[in-house]
Amino acid sequence: MKRDMKDSLLPDPDILQMIGQNNEEAFKILYKKYWRLLLKYASTYISDEYVCKEIVQELFVHLHSSSSRLKIYSSFSSYLFVSLRNKIFNYLRNQSVYKKHVKKAGHFGTRACNDVQQSIDLNELQKGIRFSLKKMPVKYSEVYILHDENSYTLKKISEILDRPVDTIEKQLRKARCLLRNDLRESRLN
């Protein structure tokens, strides 16, 4: 117990220096020092405790994976809270877009049941998506399929594919961009 007290009194710059040297113990100290504070901060924006834990965990995974490249020009605690706030805003933005699409899809789905042309259009769109996924690089299509068709979280995909979460996020964005462009081109032709 005394060791924990001693470790938590280490100044952040010392802990950061140790983390930059890939010291796992220093990362554990940092985790213990900030986990509860960051979780409490996240809960001011998001009421779902599980989601808060996921976002804070994502932040620590990012810190761990990029610890050797980390350059912080302000206080470390400021860096953590700003990074967490940005992750929260990204999550909220993505949820908003997701809900909008679900609402739109639900509305479209009920109309499509009675309209043969819309059903045909939906089939064409699904074929276009499958064709586009076959054309794009495997690393993008597999991330898209795992996330959008199998509903895996970015963290879960990261574990499955053994890639950093931020890489998975970038690959998903790229896959969606390629898909959008392909579908746009196919409509113009």
- Kindly state whether residues 1 and 66 are assigned to the same domain: yes
Give the model's pLDDT for residue 100. 66
- Kindly state whether residues 79 and 131 are assigned to the same domain: no
For residue 60, being part of any structural domain is answered with yes
Would you say residue 71 has pLDDT above 80? no
Chain-centroid distance, C-alpha 139: 16
Residue 67 CA to residue 59 CA, distance in Å, equals 12
Higher pLDDT, 5 or 51: 51
For residue 136, being part of any structural domain is answered with yes
| DSSP SS3 for 12 | helix
Q: Give the best-scoring range by mean pLDDT among 46-50, 60-64, 113-117, 122-126.
A: 46-50
Give the model's pLDDT for residue 112. 45
Q: How many domains does the chain have?
A: 2
- Kindly state whether residues 69 and 135 are assigned to the same domain: no
For residue 110, being part of any structural domain is answered with no
> What confidence tier does 108 reach under pLDDT thresholds 50, 70, 90?
low
> What confidence tier does 2 reach under pLDDT thresholds 50, 70, 90?
very low
Give the model's pLDDT for residue 152. 85
Q: Which of 21, 55, 83 is where one domain is finished? A: 83
Question: What CATH number corresponds to the domain at position 4?
Answer: 1.10.1740.10
Q: Which of 29, 56, 83 is where one domain is finished? A: 83
- Kindly state whether residues 68 and 137 are assigned to the same domain: no
Scanning the chain, the segments in alpha helix (DSSP H) are: 2-8, 12-20, 24-43, 49-65, 76-112, 116-135, 138-144, 154-161, 165-188
> What confidence tier does 5 reach under pLDDT thresholds 50, 70, 90?
very low
Closest CA to 167 of 179, 155, 176: 155
Tell me which of 18-32, 101-115, 117-131 is least confident. Answer: 101-115
Higher pLDDT, 124 or 22: 124
pLDDT tens string 23-43: 778 778 888 888 999 999 999
- Kindly state whether residues 68 and 3 are assigned to the same domain: yes
- Kindly state whether residues 2 and 76 are assigned to the same domain: yes
Which residue range forms the structural domain that includes residue 173? 127-189
Higher pLDDT, 151 or 99: 151
For residue 119, being part of any structural domain is answered with no
The answer to whether the CB of 102 falls within 8 A of the CB of 60 is: no
Question: What CATH number corresponds to the domain at position 155?
Answer: 1.10.10.10
For residue 9, being part of any structural domain is answered with yes
For residue 89, being part of any structural domain is answered with no
Residue 112 CA to residue 84 CA, distance in Å, equals 41
Higher pLDDT, 171 or 107: 171
